[in-house]
Chain A
Amino acid sequence: MARIEAIRVAQDAEYAASLSDADWHQLSLDPDWQQLVAEQSEMVAGVIATHGHKLPSFSAAASARPTQPEAPRTAFKIAGTDVARMQGIGIVTNLGQYTENMRMPGMLFMRTLRSRYPHAKITSVDISKAQKLPGVKAVLHRGNLPAEYADVFLGAANPTRFLFNEEVFEVGSPIAVVAAESEHVADEALRQIDVQYQVLPAALDFLEAMKATTPKQFTSNLDGTTIAVTPPLVRGDPTNTRADAVVDVIAHKPVEQHVALEVTNGLFWWDNDKLNAVYTSQWAHGVRANLSTALKIPQNKVRVVQPGYVGSGYGYRSGIDLAEVHAAILSKLTARPIKMNYTRYEDFVTRTHRNEFRDEMKLGVNKDGTLAFGQFKVIANVGAQRAGAANGAWFNMQNLYKIPNLKLEAIDVFTNSFKSGPYRCVSHPNGTFALEITMEKAAYAIGMDPIAFRLMNLNEVGNPDTKAPFSNPGIRDCITAVRDQVGWAQKWHAPKANQVRPGVYHGIGMAAHACSHGAGGNPASGQVVINSDGTVQCISANNDIGDGQRTEMMMITAETLGVPLTSVTITPYVDTDLTTDASGTFGSQQTNTGGRGQFEAATDARKQILDWGARKFNDDATKASQPATNTAADMDMVDGKVFNKNAANKTHTLAEVMAFKTSGAIVGRADYVQDPKWQRTAWAAHAAEVEVDTVLGSIKITNYVAAHDLGKAINPFAVQQQIEGGVVMATASATTEELLIDKATGLPLNPNLLDYKPLSIKDAPLANVIIIEKPKEYGVFGAHGIGEPPMALPAPTITNAVYNAVGVWVTDMPLTREKLLAALKAG
């Protein structure tokens, strides 16, 4: 059966319509598809509306599973307490085993020769000199690739990313790989490979590329190198509705990269016919599925270990890229372990990025503050692969405010440049950036306080188009919390009205955000093992990438079971041979995916414990010649002690119950499918004060407040860190970071930590974090995920504050001093 290409299902209606029922079942298990559902739900919304009934996880049959609705919890012993992460010491001391530090006897180093042209045909590759270099064990390229891999490709086809392309579409496309005894020998071997290119015209500017006059690079009915045009979402009559004022904004965001501290790397070896991989991954089981497909071997012939010490990922490590397949093949060919280490350049250039966006915004607003209409068009530069990103920016345009007449458009354009893919909150930061500066501008246009304006237009019901309801939305609480904390009533002023020093102006601004991330997905599996001594092991395939989720898995397990946190352990690592898939650490979903698995498994284990507890008490009673009337329903367990609710003075420890059981461990299992009825949504508002130096163009953030509704903070300590970290990361993309190319050659200009300018600790604002807890019906203990939502607000918040300070709009990120000074000059 041919692999179903998830991106094409989302973008190509004809392709989707051609799929059989079996194809839809295969698709629902496909890692690329599962990632789209979690990270880019907007991209699949259309196809699910049409074909969802054929998808097992969205069908009524699957969601009508027999689970008892759980009474909402109000009292917690462990959830809601600050717990330091279980790998903390390993992380801060580097005693934790990071993949990059791992070595194996006999291992070889892999290095990759990559295209230096953005678009070219490889006419010849001569490896004869490289092969003769002492220490070189294998050189692999298109000309000698074993035939069984000739048709292997990643992602979606047309244009196709084979293991080695004859026609390369990007700088950094692999041409040959070398396995050698040392990295230095491998590097030298790359220099000894002679490649002949036939350089082809490249499409580097996405607005040019989408024009009909641009030469096509792949079969398509669309103009130029346009990849997809999403059917517009139209609500009411957005074109003929009048408004008192119409606000126009053109917004632009550049290409960003994740800059994970640990570069992508892995160790690959074969044990007979089984591939082993230790790999910096956000989803061990997804990687297993990817490798299984690419290498044409069953999933149980692939073992992936995610060591639990990973220098993060932020979205670009949920799947594999070509180098990982090369490494596995080289290991097979050489019968040696292969160390694959991306260079920082390769991590910057050849992996995925948050892509470039252009937003054309038109908002009609009435003097009384009501919204008349919105026309929002998003164009995304998805780079050198078939991908989608533009309609991902729709979520808050569609959901955050009551806009009775709305038109949303989205166009994805291919270029011979950096590939797009998920990066912390994916397309939402762009959508929120564009919408929230447009809202701010509209408030000023009608002379209304921007916060009052937002509060009166909030949509707190549900998705206006699909009618899926929100659960207990906390957006109003978020906005009023930041308003009060920042002192908006005292500090907000007319633009350029508060000069604090000569040439330096104070400004204040805010932004609001609705986000589909944090929802929870499938498979939400997990296991809880009660050992014979009453200790508890969490068995979860939740991949910790530095965010502390495996600590959260322990907390959920302990809270659900009714045992102390100290009696629960979890490994830092995930081994696909020992766990079941709990989906990936993406889409901020693990609280409600891996966490749901642990909750359900612990609930199952608890039932068994209470049953054995009742038997134990009955045994006690029989021996004391008393009536044995205890049933599981009578029993409770608190702090690891089992007792009859009607006779709480007599308790048995969990160890005593397990000793009585004698037949070994109790295993709690999860079998859960998420309920698709909700429009699961994260809510947030941020506010900032800035000082803007009009001479040097410097922006100093003097106060930053971030309020997030996440239903229930299971580990408030970790939540605070997620929000603080998100604000730092997003402030960098708002003020300094952009990945640039030379427009003449297409070559990258700043793929290094110096020139890309991630913020230093001296530049980073420390957010004052406010946690709002409005429990969600779908959430574990009412929780909604938090990883991504903080990422979307700093850019519009800072832009709006800068406008308030100096009275000019800079809607082209990052907000650099050259753009600010130019805007000030233009007035």
Chain B
Amino acid sequence: MRAFELYDATTVAQAVDLLKQNSSRATKVVGGGSDLIGGILKDWVHGAGLPFPDVIVDLTTIKDLSTISVDGGGATIGATATLTDVIEHKDIASKFPLLTAAALTVASPLIRNFGTLGGNVNQRPRCWYFRGEDFNCYKKGGDFCYAVTGDNRYHAIIGGELCYIVHPSDTSTALLALNASAKIAGVNGDRTVAFDKYFIGPREDVLRENVLGKGEFMTHVTIPNPAGGTKMAWNKLKDRQVYDFALTSVAVAFTMDGNNWKDGRIVLGGVAPVPYRATVIEDALKGKDIKSNIKQAAAQIRTVARPMSLNAYKVDLAAGLIERTVMDALATN
């Protein structure tokens, strides 16, 4: 591990100030650190596009940044709330059970006790070429994607271009289905960005996965109250039940008009460089009887999928899991 400077910020303003003071150096903010610090210890943070941080600003020392509040307007969750905080929050569980369910499938109790919501949303992808020390890929500032001709069994089936990572965050997938927004602080001031616009694919910028610019960090996630009668469900398919990322995950949140789909979202994790909103399926269900149309609608994922040499099976998994997740949601009260 190389040496770096670690600062314990006590306020958001101080954290911003520290980032400003060090703007000529490579900076990072850290939450639970399960990805960033583990990564630094392994020295994978290499490459022109992925400089080793000289300065790390700890956000978990900021008072009140881990607060969760739920009121008539919805939920506001501080970025350093741990996943366990989120899971154990009763109002989150009753109003946004989709988020609770997604957070519960992350890694393990040990990681959830330490890992933060902000860290989970903003973690870097798990692509084994990106994480491999000796692959200088696009995402590290190199000029090649090894997954295109290499072993891409876990890579993107939708939306890959230049780079074929899949977005690793379970909570991001759920939060996009819940129409959440991110509050951002930074050296150029504060802003709020809807999750609809928060994640960016490799075409826009191959070096990052979200809109956070240099000197910016997420402070809160806000979730609007769902409409009455909203049905929600979460499923995450993984090879190992503890410590594993999604092969495919599905978050659904929708309202109904009788037995018909009224309005809502179907979002997939683990299939695209961003949490992927499957509007093609939402459109296919619009105004239709869900039970009798879900199979055909779910199969619409095939019209947008562009699988690589070894991952066509993930298209089948996605279709199957979408159908099951929508049916799971229907079965809820």
Tally inter-chain residue pairs, CB-CB below 8 A: 84
For residue A364, give the distance in angstroms from its CB to the closest CB of chain B.
36
Q: How far is the CA of A757 from the CA of B245 in the complex (A)?
A: 11
- Asked if B257 is at the interface of the complex by the 8 Å CB criterion, the answer is no
- Mask of A156-192 contacts with B, CB within 8 angstroms, 1/0: 0000000000000000000000000001100110000
* CB neighbours of B128 from chain A (8 A): 749-750, 755
- Mask of B181-192 contacts with A, CB within 8 angstroms, 1/0: 000000000000
Once the chains bind, are A695 and B320 in contact (CB under 8 Å)?
yes
Once the chains bind, are A742 and B135 in contact (CB under 8 Å)?
yes
Once the chains bind, are B240 and A744 in contact (CB under 8 Å)?
no
For residue B45, give the distance in angstroms from its CB to the closest CB of chain A.
13
Which B residues, 121 to 154, have Cβ-Cβ distances below 8 Å to chain A? 126, 128-129, 132-135, 146, 149-151, 153
Once the chains bind, are A749 and B151 in contact (CB under 8 Å)?
yes
Q: How far is the CA of A695 from the CA of B126 in the complex (A)?
A: 25
- Mask of A743-760 contacts with B, CB within 8 angstroms, 1/0: 111011110011101011
- Asked if B317 is at the interface of the complex by the 8 Å CB criterion, the answer is yes
Once the chains bind, are B240 and A757 in contact (CB under 8 Å)?
yes
- Asked if A623 is at the interface of the complex by the 8 Å CB criterion, the answer is no
Once the chains bind, are A757 and B244 in contact (CB under 8 Å)?
yes
Name which of A302-310, A472-480, A816-824 contacts chain B: A816-824
Once the chains bind, are B241 and A744 in contact (CB under 8 Å)?
no
Q: How far is the CA of A379 from the CA of B311 in the complex (A)?
A: 28
Q: Closest residue of chain B to A816, judged by CB?
A: B239
Once the chains bind, are A817 and B317 in contact (CB under 8 Å)?
yes
- Asked if A696 is at the interface of the complex by the 8 Å CB criterion, the answer is yes
For residue B241, give the distance in angstroms from its CB to the closest CB of chain A.
4
Q: How far is the CA of A742 from the CA of B128 in the complex (A)?
A: 10
- Asked if A499 is at the interface of the complex by the 8 Å CB criterion, the answer is no
Once the chains bind, are A817 and B313 in contact (CB under 8 Å)?
yes
Once the chains bind, are B43 and A697 in contact (CB under 8 Å)?
no
Given A116-B134, A763-B240, decide whether A696 and B320 contact each other with a Cβ distance below 8 A. yes
Q: How far is the CA of A747 from the CA of B2 in the complex (A)?
A: 24
* CB neighbours of A75 from chain B (8 A): none
- Asked if B88 is at the interface of the complex by the 8 Å CB criterion, the answer is no
Once the chains bind, are A742 and B240 in contact (CB under 8 Å)?
no
Q: How far is the CA of A760 from the CA of B111 in the complex (A)?
A: 15
* CB neighbours of B132 from chain A (8 A): 742, 747-749
* CB neighbours of B241 from chain A (8 A): 760, 762-763
Once the chains bind, are A184 and B243 in contact (CB under 8 Å)?
no
- Asked if B242 is at the interface of the complex by the 8 Å CB criterion, the answer is yes
Once the chains bind, are A742 and B151 in contact (CB under 8 Å)?
yes
Q: How far is the CA of A744 from the CA of B132 in the complex (A)?
A: 14
Once the chains bind, are B134 and A184 in contact (CB under 8 Å)?
no
For residue B150, give the distance in angstroms from its CB to the closest CB of chain A.
5
Residues of A within 8 A of B (CB-CB), count: 35
Given A116-B134, A744-B149, A822-B313, decide whether A696 and B240 contact each other with a Cβ distance below 8 A. no
Once the chains bind, are B1 and A187 in contact (CB under 8 Å)?
yes
Once the chains bind, are B239 and A757 in contact (CB under 8 Å)?
yes
- Mask of B169-204 contacts with A, CB within 8 angstroms, 1/0: 000000000000000000000000000000000000
- Mask of B311-324 contacts with A, CB within 8 angstroms, 1/0: 10100110011001
For residue B65, give the distance in angstroms from its CB to the closest CB of chain A.
28
Once the chains bind, are A760 and B242 in contact (CB under 8 Å)?
yes
* CB neighbours of B3 from chain A (8 A): 184
For residue B308, give the distance in angstroms from its CB to the closest CB of chain A.
12
Once the chains bind, are B150 and A696 in contact (CB under 8 Å)?
no
For residue B5, give the distance in angstroms from its CB to the closest CB of chain A.
15
Once the chains bind, are B237 and A696 in contact (CB under 8 Å)?
yes
Once the chains bind, are A740 and B151 in contact (CB under 8 Å)?
yes
Q: How far is the CA of A740 from the CA of B151 in the complex (A)?
A: 9
Q: How far is the CA of A695 from the CA of B315 in the complex (A)?
A: 11
Which A residues, 754 to 786, have Cβ-Cβ distances below 8 Å to chain B? 754-755, 757, 759-763
* CB neighbours of B239 from chain A (8 A): 735-736, 757, 816-817
Q: How far is the CA of A754 from the CA of B39 in the complex (A)?
A: 13
Q: How far is the CA of A188 from the CA of B52 in the complex (A)?
A: 13
Given A736-B239, A760-B243, A762-B241, decide whether A744 and B146 contact each other with a Cβ distance below 8 A. yes
Q: How far is the CA of A345 from the CA of B317 in the complex (A)?
A: 31
Q: Closest residue of chain A to B154, judged by CB?
A: A755
Which A residues, 48 to 93, have Cβ-Cβ distances below 8 Å to chain B? none
Q: How far is the CA of A743 from the CA of B244 in the complex (A)?
A: 24
List the interface of chain A (C-beta within 8 A of B).
116, 183-184, 187-188, 345, 695-698, 735-736, 740, 742-745, 747-750, 753-755, 757, 759-763, 816-818, 821-822
Sample (30) of A-B pairs whose CB atoms are under 8 Å apart: A116-B134, A184-B3, A187-B1, A187-B2, A187-B43, A695-B316, A695-B324, A696-B317, A696-B320, A696-B321, A696-B324, A735-B239, A736-B239, A742-B129, A742-B146, A743-B151, A744-B149, A745-B146, A747-B132, A749-B129, A754-B126, A754-B244, A755-B128, A760-B241, A763-B241, A817-B313, A817-B317, A818-B311, A818-B313, A821-B313
Q: A696-B237, A742-B151 are in contact. List 20 more A-B contacts (CB 8 A).
A: A187-B1, A695-B324, A696-B320, A696-B324, A736-B239, A736-B240, A740-B151, A744-B146, A745-B135, A747-B134, A753-B243, A754-B126, A759-B240, A760-B241, A762-B242, A763-B241, A817-B239, A821-B316, A821-B317, A822-B313
The 9 closest A-B pairs by CB, nearest first: A760-B242, A762-B241, A695-B320, A818-B313, A749-B128, A116-B134, A821-B313, A742-B150, A747-B134
